[in-house]
Every structure is written in structure tokens, then in C-alpha cells.
Structure 1
């Protein structure tokens, strides 16, 4: 297990013990994090699991693949640290990962 956190737009923090190799999105859904709807179920076919990755962790993630970049075009308020949480696989070196839910998504 790896501890990650989602920060909702209202500032509520959701600390989650996430199984390794699961996606951040799966854990958000399992813990009812508001604003993470995951309409496509994690198949990278929508942008309803858009998050901002804390700057301390951006470099620890692989660059988004073309499909994810295409889907981010449909997200609101995209920033350089934007990612789709369905594409973030949990692993031990991401301990303490913080993901913020965009305000306009909630």
C-alpha cells in the first residue's frame, strides 16, 4: 500500500491507503472523492478524472501518452501539472502523492 491524498476544491483532504498497481482514479472512486466522476471507467476516453499533480511529484510520473494529452484537451482549467488520474498507477515511490481536484470539475 502507498499513501496518497486527494484535495477537494473546498480544501477537504482525502488520505487513502492505495494498493500498488491500482490507479489513482480507482482509489478516488472507492473513497468518494468529489469531482472525480470517471465516466469512462478508467479507459482514458474522457477527462472526468482530471487532477493537478503536486509539483514535488510531477517529475516522478512518466510523461502523458498521446491519448491522455488528447483527452486533457477536453478538461477545464488545464495546467502544466494536469493529468488524468486514471493514468497514474500507484507504486511505492509515489508515497505521499498529492492530487488536487480542479475547482470547476467538482
Structure 2
């Protein structure tokens, strides 16, 4: 088990922890943890962009670069893309991501 943290736009200094198993996506961890702000309308098929997150350092630079499809989908998110924007469905959790913290956009729509 690892712990990942989700910070809302209203309370960025108080990220909500979620304990989760590895070998699943950050999106699935958010849904299982009851995180508001991750809609995941497409269920992780990378067709909606409603699991948009902003990954904090030092983890943003540790993640593999987004693939071509993820890069394209990030162009259609409700909140403008940033340098640290990712789709939570494309972040595969492993032990090296224990402590990962992401900021949620104000809206996914």
C-alpha cells in the first residue's frame, strides 16, 4: 500500500490522503477513495479528460512523459493545461510514487 494525496483548489495546503494498492491508476485510487473532483466519465479510456490533475514536484519530473494520445486529450480539459498537467487514468501507481501529491482543477467540465 502507498499513500497519495489530492489537494482541492479551495484547500491546496490540506491535501486529502488516500491509501491504495499499487498496480492501479491514480484515477482508480481517487474514485475508490471518494475524492470529489475526479469525474472519470469515461472510466479510464482516455476519451474525456475529466480526471485532469496537476502533479506536484518532485513527482512531476519522475513520471514518464505523457504519450501522444494523452497529450492530445490534455488540450481539451476544462481548465487550461499546465506544464505539470496529467490525466490521472494514465498514471500507473507503484512504490516509487508513495507520497505523490496532485492538485485538482476547480472543475472538470
TM band (smaller chain)? over 0.9
1:1-106 → structure 2 map (5 Å cutoff)? 1-11=1-11, 12-75=14-77, 76-105=79-108
1:77·1:102 contact (CA, 8 Å) conserved in 2?
Answer: no
Q: State TM-score, norm by structure 2.
A: 0.91
How far 1:13 moved relative to its partner? Answer: 2.4
SS in structure 2 opposite 1:63?
Answer: coil
How far 1:10 moved relative to its partner? Answer: 1.9
Output the aligned Cα RMSD.
1.3
More helix by share: 1
1:50·1:82 contact (CA, 8 Å) conserved in 2?
Answer: yes
SS in structure 2 opposite 1:32?
Answer: coil
TM-superposition CA deviations, 1:78-101 (whole Å, max 9, x none): 100000000001100111100110
Q: State TM-score, norm by structure 1.
A: 0.93
1:25·1:42 contact (CA, 8 Å) conserved in 2?
Answer: yes
1:47·1:72 contact (CA, 8 Å) conserved in 2?
Answer: yes
Question: Where do 5+ consecutive residues of structure 1 fail to align?
Answer: none
Q: State how many pairs are aligned.
A: 106
Runs (4 or more) in structure 1 with deviation over 3 Å come to none
